[in-house]
């Protein structure tokens, strides 16, 4: 049982102010206070507690409001829709920043002191096989392996992978050569999209967007912007679409590496193979091994389904015709275009 009269003196203390005139309001307040307090609270403490509650509530509301205002400001200052013009933000501030330390993944040949930076969707599987082969061609052949047919899951070499450029530098001789194979960002995006989002649509790998390229670009862009401000996230889509400068500690490794442009057909592929073999030549890789690497890299893609390539053509056409899609891709990969010398 409570005694309402007991409280009155306290209410009239300076603590609670004499100005409170509405007795009914006080009574309601105490009922409220009682209801949320435990039974054994000393009477004297109820009033400060009530004041505290009010102050805390006001402060809480104030903070929530401040948070909303600051989020609104952040959103005003950034490009919410990567497909739109976003005239409220200078163009250079809508770009996904370069050289974020996202993932470092290398495969190495200790025999020749060559390392290769592995970027998803850029020759990472066959590149792994090439270095595996030159490191120990006899073991590779004796296991009935061939470079062009290696798959990542069943790969022959697993022990020659390193998780940081620092560790590559420590483990190979100081004159080692690092190779970074890069790919035209448009080409890499389309390739990733048709494979991960269209071909495996049923697996829902693309942030719930299905085969909707515009939805995917919006979501993936926001994810990269948030990652660059907060912390990295590694879903399959994130890793396959992350900017190439986000890999292999390129902030430090790029200007110490041989950069080679990837191509999977025609003259450009021959140039790519020549550039790789130039590095191998410098590292004294034997002629026989070089020949084998050239043969294997010159093989066409094993299975080239017509369905796959028509889909690809459809998306290429969509990209060519739709300015907003191209602009979104440029915003995501601007620094890949810039640092690797691809035309926008
Ligand atoms: C964008 O460009 C303006 C003017 O050219 C420059 O002052 C600003 O620092 C740039 N912002 C970024 C993020 O590069
Ligand atoms: C490689 O193939 C040969 C002939 O087909 C076979 O005799 C041998 O057992 C195979 N070796 C391995 C390691 O699979
Ligand atoms: C690489 O970049 C670093 C810093 O950006 C610079 O100090 C160094 O001289 C560059 N090295 C080469 C070989 O360009
Ligand atoms: C390659 O071989 C030549 C001649 O034997 C030698 O001078 C050079 O140092 C070797 N290069 C490397 C990277 O081992």
Sign of the CA dihedral with 185 first, then 186, 187, and 193 last: positive
Q: pLDDT band at 70, cuts 50/70/90?
A: confident
What would the DSSP string read from start to end of 89-102? S-GGGGSPPS----
Cα-to-centroid distance, 285 and ligand 4 (Å) = 10
Ligand nearest, relative to CA of residue 141: 2
For residues 192 and 199, what is the distance between their CA atoms, to the nearest angstrom? 10
State residue 301's pLDDT score: 60
Rounded to the nearest integer, the mean pLDDT of the chain is 85
Sign of the CA dihedral with 47 first, then 49, 53, and 54 last: positive
Q: Tell me: the pLDDT tens digits for 9-32?
A: 333 344 444 444 444 554 554 454
State residue 6's pLDDT score: 37
CA distances, 69 to each of 66, 89, 229 (Å): 5, 18, 19
Residue that the structure tokens 């020549």 belong to: 274
State residue 47's pLDDT score: 67
List residues near ligand 2 (CB under 6 A): 143-144
Cα-to-centroid distance, 288 and ligand 4 (Å) = 17
Query: Is-contact 178 166, C-beta < 8 A?
Result: no
Q: pLDDT band at 300, cuts 50/70/90?
A: low
Whether the predicted pLDDT of 228 surpasses 80: yes
Whether the predicted pLDDT of 336 surpasses 60: yes
Q: pLDDT band at 255, cuts 50/70/90?
A: very high
Average pLDDT over residues 183-209: 94
């Amino acid at each position: 049982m409570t005694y309402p009269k007991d409280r009155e003196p306290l209410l009239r203390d300076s603590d609670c102010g004499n100005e409170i005139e509405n007795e009914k309001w006080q009574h309601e307040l105490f009922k409220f206070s009682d209801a949320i307090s435990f039974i054994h609270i000393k009477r004297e403490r109820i009033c400060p507690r009530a004041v505290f509650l009010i102050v805390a509530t006001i402060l809480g509301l104030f903070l929530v409001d401040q948070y909303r205002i600051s989020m609104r400001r952040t959103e005003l200052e950034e490009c919410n829709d990567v497909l739109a013009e976003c005239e409220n933000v200078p163009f250079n501030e809508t770009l996904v920043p370069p050289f974020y330390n996202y993932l470092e993944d290398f495969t190495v040949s200790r025999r020749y002191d060559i390392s290769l930076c592995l970027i998803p969707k850029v020759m990472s599987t066959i590149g792994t096989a090439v270095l595996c082969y030159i490191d120990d061609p006899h073991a590779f052949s004796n296991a009935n392996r061939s470079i062009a047919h290696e798959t990542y899951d069943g790969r022959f070499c697993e022990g020659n992978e390193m998780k940081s450029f620092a560790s590559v530098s420590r483990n190979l001789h100081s004159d080692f050569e690092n190779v970074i194979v890069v790919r035209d960002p448009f080409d890499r995006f389309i390739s990733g999209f048709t494979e991960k989002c269209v071909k495996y649509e049923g697996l829902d790998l693309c942030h719930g967007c299905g085969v909707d390229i515009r939805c995917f670009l919006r979501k993936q862009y926001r994810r990269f912007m948030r990652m660059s401000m907060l912390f990295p996230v590694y879903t399959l889509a994130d890793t396959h679409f992350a900017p190439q400068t986000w890999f292999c500690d390129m902030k430090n490794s790029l200007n110490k590496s041989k950069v080679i442009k990837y191509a999977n057909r025609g003259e450009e592929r021959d140039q790519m193979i020549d550039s790789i073999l130039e590095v191998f030549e410098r590292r004294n890789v034997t002629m026989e091994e070089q020949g084998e690497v050239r043969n294997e890299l010159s093989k066409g893609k094993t299975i080239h389904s017509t369905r796959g390539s028509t889909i690809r053509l459809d998306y290429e056409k969509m990209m060519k015709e739709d300015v907003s899609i191209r602009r979104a891709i440029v915003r995501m990969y601007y620094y890949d275009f810039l640092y690797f010398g691809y035309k926008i």
